[in-house]
């Protein structure tokens, strides 16, 4: 397809600012909770059950978001080094190292920005490093760890035993929260919270769907971060649901006006893998130069895959929480399921190419991406580029090398397109001549 042009516009302004506002509100709460005694609970992002914590007014804390914030503000390296000083290996996940280093330096607790948790909930949803990370947090801060072991999706559907196991653990978590807060579990409150969740998920899904338009109204890789905070950390609040209403309205307006992310959308890409947060802007620029826009991304679905229809259900509160944790998030699904997800993205969002960003820190994402490249490039005929760096450790980002690969890839893609267009024109001429 030829490039789509639209007037230039500061597309990031409104949604970015809205996201920033509500996330800052949550972070202010975290800061206040370091002193005011509000109970806080650690959770991991993927397939989380934040709604249950919210039901008891336990403030959710996500160490992954802490690590992300450190990286994007270019503050991660000193904390990574701090962790390496106490024995973490250079080959360990740098998200863990940055967060642990931050904790060791006093970032968590009365003198920091993050409250010391009253409990640590290890929602083990696919990523085995989660378990270690939270074991370390539990040992270092002497806080009890509650394990929520979520069986990996290893067949088409979870077994009844899988579901019962998760439901039982969710009930045990609820009992734990009751003991911690001295409050009785209120199922009606949970239903109300889940209603907000479902509304936010609906908005997320509609926004993602709008990227099927040409031009796409936002970059589903780089700009999805604006929506990932609200959907993963603030899910279950009215503010998050309202945020998505505003987001959808904004993007629908852009689609109606024919506005895209850039003044020109030359290439539509699907991106696999987390971004290099310490070099976020630079990395983005490498694609913008080529007017390449991500119309879908797998990373944005680590917390939950909502675009294929799943919603939390207030009428089946615990059951739908269990289903989301087992089934509807990227981390608890196999690599081959991810291949299918990408295939659907390429087909239904009409992408020209797949870009794989492999990161050293996260083996869940990256182990085997060479096979993914092989599968898409050779067997599916999708032009595929693979570049590598890290999502947290700035030392693994080699811009010149990455730029060379990206430039060469899009140059080849452009040439291929030109050749196709010329051949098409020649064919049309021949037909006309006849």
Partner 1 sequence: MSVETIMQDCRDLLELLPAQALSKAQQRYPHVGGLAVFPVYAPLEIIHAAGLMPVGLFGAGDKVELSHADARFQSFICSIAKSTLELFLRGEMKAFAGVVFSSICDVARNLASLVRRNAPELYVEYLHLPQNMYSAASQDYTRAEFERFRTNLARHLGRSIPDAAVARSLELYNQVRARTRELYELRRARPGVISAADTYAVVQAGTRMMPEEFAELLEDLLFNLRQRTGRARDGVQVVLEGAFCEQPPLALVETIEAAGCIIQDDDLVVGWRLFSDDVPVHDDPLGALAQAYLRDSVYTSVRHDRDRPRTEGLTRRVERAGAGAVLFTPAKFCEPALLDYVLFRQRLDETGCPHLKIEFEEKMWTFEATRTEVETFAESMLFD
Q: Which residues bind partner 1 (CB under 8 A)?
A: 86-89, 91-93, 96, 122, 124, 126-129, 131-133, 135-136, 139, 145, 147-149, 151-152, 154, 159, 161-162, 164-165, 167-169, 172, 334-336, 339, 358, 360, 362-364, 366-371, 374-375, 388
Show the DSSP H helices in 211-308 as ranges. Answer: 225-232, 238-256, 280-288
Nearer to partner 1, 89 or 433 (CB): 89
Smallest distance from the beta carbon of 383 to partner 1, in angstroms?
Answer: 18
Nearer to partner 1, 224 or 366 (CB): 366
Look at residues 161, 179, 177, 158 and name the one whose alpha carbon lies nearest to residue 43: 177
Q: Both tokens of residue 69?
A: 């914030």
Nearer to partner 1, 147 or 180 (CB): 147
Smallest distance from the beta carbon of 388 to partner 1, in angstroms?
Answer: 7
355: CB partners within 8 A, 6+ apart: 269, 270, 271, 272, 287, 294, 384, 385, 386, 387, 409
Alpha carbon distance 213, 63 (integer Å): 35
Smallest distance from the beta carbon of 342 to partner 1, in angstroms?
Answer: 13
Cβ proximity of 58 and 180 under 8 Å: yes
Smallest distance from the beta carbon of 151 to partner 1, in angstroms?
Answer: 4
Q: How far is CA 422 from CA 3, 4, 417, 419, in A?
A: 15, 18, 9, 5
Smallest distance from the beta carbon of 177 to partner 1, in angstroms?
Answer: 16
Nearer to partner 1, 128 or 289 (CB): 128
Smallest distance from the beta carbon of 348 to partner 1, in angstroms?
Answer: 22
Rg (CA), the chain: 22
Nearer to partner 1, 148 or 248 (CB): 148
Nearer to partner 1, 23 or 330 (CB): 330
Smallest distance from the beta carbon of 367 to partner 1, in angstroms?
Answer: 4
Alpha carbon distance 160, 157 (integer Å): 9
91: DSSP letter: T
Nearer to partner 1, 125 or 207 (CB): 125
């Amino acid at each position: 397809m030829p490039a789509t042009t639209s007037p230039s516009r500061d597309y990031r302004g409104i949604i970015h600012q809205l996201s920033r506002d509500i996330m800052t509100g949550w972070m202010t709460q975290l800061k206040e909770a370091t002193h005011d005694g509000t109970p806080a609970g650690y959770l991991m992002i993927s397939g989380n059950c934040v709604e249950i914590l919210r039901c008891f007014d336990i403030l959710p804390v996500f160490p992954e978001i802490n690590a992300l914030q450190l990286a994007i503000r270019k503050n991660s390296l000193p904390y990574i080094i701090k962790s390496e000083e106490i024995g973490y290996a250079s080959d360990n996940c740098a998200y863990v190292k940055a967060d642990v280093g931050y904790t060791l330096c006093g970032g968590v607790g009365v003198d920091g920005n993050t409250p010391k948790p009253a409990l640590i909930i290890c929602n083990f949803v696919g990523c085995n490093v989660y378990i270690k990370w939270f074991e370390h947090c539990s040992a270092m801060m002497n806080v009890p760890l509650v394990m929520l072991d979520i069986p990996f999706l290893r067949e088409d559907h979870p077994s009844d035993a899988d579901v019962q196991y998760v439901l039982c653990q969710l009930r045990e978590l609820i009992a734990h929260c009751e003991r911690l807060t001295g409050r009785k579990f209120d199922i009606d409150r949970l239903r109300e919270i889940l209603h907000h969740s479902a509304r936010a998920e609906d908005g997320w899904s509609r926004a993602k769907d709008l990227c099927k338009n040409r031009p796409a109204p936002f970059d589903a890789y780089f700009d999805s971060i604006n929506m990932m905070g609200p959907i993963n950390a603030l899910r279950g609040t009215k503010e998050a649901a309202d945020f998505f209403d505003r987001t959808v309205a904004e993007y629908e307006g852009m689609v109606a006006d024919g506005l895209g992310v850039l003044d020109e959308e030359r290439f539509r890409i699907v991106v696999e893998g987390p971004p290099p947060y310490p070099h976020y802007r630079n990395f983005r620029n490498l694609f913008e130069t080529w007017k390449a826009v991500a119309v879908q991304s797998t990373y944005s679905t680590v917390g939950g895959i909502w675009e294929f229809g799943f919603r939390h259900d207030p009428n089946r509160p615990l059951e739908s929480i269990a289903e989301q944790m087992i089934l509807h998030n990227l981390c608890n699904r196999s690599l081959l399921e991810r291949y299918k997800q990408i295939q659907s993205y390429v087909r239904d969002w009409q992408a020209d190419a797949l870009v794989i960003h492999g990161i050293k820190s996260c083996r869940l994402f990256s182990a085997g991406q060479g096979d993914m490249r092989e599968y898409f490039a050779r067997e599916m005929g999708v032009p595929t580029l693979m570049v590598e760096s890290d999502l947290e450790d700035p030392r693994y980002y080699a811009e010149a090398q990455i730029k060379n690969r990206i430039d060469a890839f899009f140059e080849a893609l452009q040439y291929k397109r030109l050749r196709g267009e010329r051949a098409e024109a020649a064919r049309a001429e021949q037909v006309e001549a006849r």
